[in-house]
Amino acid sequence: MKNERGVRRLAPILLFVTLAACSSASKKGGYYKDDGPQANPPKGLDHVADAKPRAEPLNRAANRPYEVFGKKYVPLAKVQSYHQRGLASWYGKRFHGQKTSSGETYDMYAMTAAHPVLPIPSYARVTSARTGKQVIVRINDRGPFHSGRVIDLSYAAAYRLGLIGAGSGEVEIDAIVPGSRAGL
């Protein structure tokens, strides 16, 4: 009985702490407290080469319909034209060295990105709406799963676009279809 009352008293406090943590992690701008660049990021991030689009077989496992946080996603079944505008964020050392949805190891210094529905693997041109800077990334992961965000860029891609300090920014995403004139 005493334990039950104690739990009831703590429930509102736990709920408040949980909500506060979620809201601070998903604020526009910034990055997770324990994420960000490594202590000594490599020099020359301005010169990291764009991903080189090429035709690749799609990863069957990574392109099946899936559900995250109660929302259903259906990835595109083939590499095709696709355009989207929205808020981009980036992911760094918290995920560096972890497996991506493609089964590859995430490298925050490579030109890659996570997208909820673009085929894995595929390529996209991402353009900063603020600066007009562009990068070409290889889609090899799923995400972001934060409301209002359309793509999670690697640290290197976000750096080249000028999104690191702000943590996020408005971008345009255009899928690249290798071999098509519009693709490159």
DSSP symbols for 33-93: TT-S--SSPPS-GGGPPPP--------TGGGS-EEETTEEE---SS----EEEEEEEEE-T
pLDDT, tens digit, 9 for 90 and up, residues 11-38:
333 333 332 333 333 334 444 445 555 5
Q: Is pLDDT above 60 for 2?
A: no
Q: Is pLDDT above 70 for 100?
A: yes
Confidence of residue 165 (pLDDT cuts 50, 70, 90): confident
Q: Say what the pLDDT of residue 97 is.
A: 72
**Bigger pLDDT: 146 or 118?**
118
Domain ranges of the chain: 29-176
In this structure, which amino acid lies at residue 173? I
Q: Is pLDDT above 60 for 177?
A: yes
**Bigger pLDDT: 34 or 118?**
118
Which CATH fold would you assign to the domain 29-176? Answer: Barwin-like endoglucanases (2.40.40)
Q: Is pLDDT above 70 for 108?
A: yes
**Bigger pLDDT: 90 or 7?**
90
Q: Which residues of 149-176 are buried (b: 16+ CB within 10 A; e: fewer)?
A: bbbbbbbbbbbbbebbeebbbebbbbbb
Contact in structure between 126 and 83 (CB atoms under 8 Å): no
pLDDT, tens digit, 9 for 90 and up, residues 40-95:
677 888 899 999 999 999 999 999 999 999 999 999 999 999 999 999 999 877 77
